[in-house]
Chain A
């Protein structure tokens, strides 16, 4: 969508620099002149919100790393030291811990947006798959970060999740020992998790750059799912239109974020994580952080160790195949009345699995988890492939401009 930059710096120094490293042109074509569909709604602001959250997590994380000690004898104490002694330490830690939750709230909205408006369809498959990679790296980062305070939930969550690898036939136990660097989750495990937790956000930046690059090659999708046909009529420049809209949405999001930090900073955590890790006592009820609960419910729904692990990883991996599982030519659910119903049920299924993941694995909860797991996979493997073949879709607008400028669009047409 964006051709070679026509950007010319105003100052002589700027022109001298630009002819040697054209970074100004890159920024100008990516974030100023870049054409954005004129009908984007507020669901399209979560990319900017997520970029902000990544930077915020890195900044608060670096600050925390300056005061944290990754050793089993000191980790728990050093986190309390941050909370009580370090200047503004409580603020940094609550921002970082709740920031992870905000990051996931934003990413889930971003993903459901893509799912609703068919943003994964050609030519945006690679863009979507890079998004799935980002999601996976985010999950690994969040999981390792949760281990660092070395509370009971840190320790036992780490034990349960690393034990998932022991389900692999033949080499499972060797892989688990290798991950631990011992015969159980212990000091070597904590140490390497700290190193990797620090590394992975920077890997995320790399994949995010590829994600944005792929986005800027294919251009943004939009609520109609109709491609841009006329850049003059269908799009607006990124600055000021998208910049201001993203900024406003970000401010709203930060108010929401602040509410968690300043009013209920421990609501999303687990009380047991304020008890120091004890390898000899398992808490009565182990639960992961809320953003992993749907996947945890799928793990527990399958009455076999290996089967549960395959289903859990499969539920994420299946997202990467979505562009080919959905056979419909129409992108946006606004024009797919039947898909829209299945989509809403899918969202409710994910929320339901999240609820069940927090409940004990017994009785009716197990049955409900199994039914919802069935729908989760059925949605991707049965409903989406068949629906594209049988669904009667609504007529699409001819252009993006037609969908948002009915009168203006009609007036503009003869002038072309």
Chain B
């Protein structure tokens, strides 16, 4: 055979490449639904919002509601807890965020109750709130403050704030 680089492409080469390209696109077109079917389905997406009555939560107390299969913490913060969260300098935070950026009303903190390390539910009952008075994750020892921000331990980011709205003073919609 001659040196391939000096041989002119033929119609057959063109047909060969075109056939291969169509086969590759076809394989991709079939693979897409096979991959996509594993993503959340329509019924899962339909459960995307939850309404909560928050009138019964006393100051200093909190409520855990289930949203998208995960716990969401709604905490009615005390004056002291709000002041603690506001007084913390941003330089001390592994994931710097002001308290104001994390709440809509200072007395209500709403965060997804899933540790950002490996997904455990942090403890938030009085006495097990960790070194910063917020939450403590027992799995791998992450401490969160009264704004749900990571302060100590392996978790990389603050507790997530879900999208939510106050429908009234006592009613909250999450999602």
Contacts and interface: CB of A to CB of B under 8 A. Distances in A.
B38 A160 contact: no
Contacts of A181: 38-41, 44
A178 B141 contact: no
Interface string A218-247: 000000000000000000000000000000
Interface stretch (B20-28, B51-59, B78-86, B116-124): B116-124
Interface stretch (B8-16, B63-71, B166-174): B63-71
Contact of B39 (A160, A177, A308): A177
A184 interface: yes
Interface in A231-281: 279-281
A177 B44 CA distance: 12
B140 interface: yes
B38 A159 contact: no
Interface residues on B, range: 20 to 34
A177 B175 CA distance: 17
Interface string A171-203: 000000111111111101000100000000000
A304 interface: yes
Interface string A135-174: 0000000000000000000001001101110100000000
A361 interface: yes
Interface in B140-162: 140-141, 154-156
Contacts of A414: none
Interface string B28-48: 000000010011110010000
Listed from nearest, the 3 A-B pairs whose CB atoms lie closest are A184-B69, A183-B68, A163-B119
A285 interface: yes
Nearest to B117: A305
Given A163-B118, A181-B40, A300 B140 contact: yes
Contacts of B71: 279-280
A285 B41 CA distance: 32
A208 to B, nearest CB: 26
B156 A156 contact: no
Interface residues of A, number: 34
Given A188-B44, A300-B140, A178 B120 contact: no
A178 B119 contact: no
A159 B118 contact: yes
Contacts of B138: 282, 284-285
Contact of B139 (A160, A184, A305): A160
Given A183-B44, A361-B140, A280 B118 contact: no
Contacts of A166: 119
16 contacts: A160-B120, A163-B118, A166-B119, A178-B38, A180-B40, A181-B40, A181-B41, A181-B44, A184-B119, A188-B40, A279-B69, A281-B121, A282-B120, A282-B137, A286-B139, A305-B118
Contact of A184 (B70, B154, B155, B156): B70
Contacts of A416: none
Nearest to B35: A178
Contacts of A182: 40, 44, 68-69
A289 to B, nearest CB: 16
Contacts of A188: 38, 40-41, 44
A132 B130 CA distance: 41
B39 to A, nearest CB: 5
A156 B154 contact: no
Interface-centre pick from B35, B40, B137 (highest chain A CB count, 10 A): B40
B168 to A, nearest CB: 26
Contact of B154 (A159, A285, A305): A305
Given A280-B71, A280-B113, A282-B137, 6 more contacts: A162-B119, A163-B119, A178-B38, A181-B40, A305-B117, A306-B156
Given A179-B38, A181-B41, A286 B120 contact: yes
B69 A186 contact: yes
Contacts of B122: 282
Nearest to A302: B154
A308 B139 contact: no
Contacts of A185: 69
B68 A279 contact: no
Nearest to A309: B118
A179 B35 CA distance: 10
Interface string A304-322: 1110100000000000000
A153 B155 CA distance: 21
Contact of B118 (A164, A192, A281, A303): A164
B26 to A, nearest CB: 23
A305 B44 contact: no
Interface in B105-138: 113-114, 117-122, 137-138
Contacts of A162: 119
Nearest to A304: B154
A280 B64 CA distance: 8
A272 B86 CA distance: 40
Contacts of B39: 177-178, 181
Nearest to B139: A286
B66 A279 contact: yes
A166 B38 CA distance: 16
B125 to A, nearest CB: 11
Contacts of A286: 120, 139
A160 B137 CA distance: 13
A185 B139 CA distance: 17
